[in-house]
Amino acid sequence: MLEGLFEVRARIAQIEAGLSTLRRGPATTDFRALVEDALAGYAADGAASTYGPASLSPDLTDEAERLRGYMRSRLFNPELAAHAADFVEAAARYGVDWRLGVALATVESSGGKYCFRPHNPFGIMGRSFSSWREAVWEVNRLVASYGFGNDLRAILRKYNPSGGEAYISKVLSEMSRI
């Protein structure tokens, strides 16, 4: 997360330098072109893709639709449910089962309806997130970092060590409903 912050700060510094040039540069300098160049550079650097692309590839659309249906049936927080595509895309990027994040949100916060911290439907270390999207990407990054691949029982034992078999069964049961 800190590396993303550094990238944002670097981009802000670059834009500020460009603004400084505008203030003292030739009158023909175009602010819009400067901002578009900065944003294009941001995307080219990969910083904008920290949370992946904004749209799903066609092969992931079916999974996103299944998640949307499941989230509606479980009465998810609508703001979180709007990120069904992010759940799928983040899972694909990190090599995690695409149903896991949604199942965790169901068990931990009733689908984002009862969050202990802002934008944190997963109960991740009592953290607050700036957006639902950030939380979705973080939970997938986190479980992938455990190094268990898709060994769901090992992931869930590490994710919630005090949850035991009852917790594991709840999450796996939710995954089977998706």
Domain ranges of the chain: 2-51, 58-177
- The one-letter amino acid code at 94 reads Y
Q: Full-prediction pTM beyond 0.75?
A: no
pLDDT in tens, 48-58: 345 554 555 66
Contacts of 105 (CB under 8 A, 6+ apart): 76, 80, 111, 112, 121, 122
pLDDT in tens, 121-146: 998 877 999 999 999 999 999 999 99
Q: Identify the CATH class of 58-177.
A: mainly alpha
Token digits of residue 1: 């997360």
Count Cα atoms within 13 angstroms, Cβ side, for 23: 6
Token digits of residue 45: 């650097």
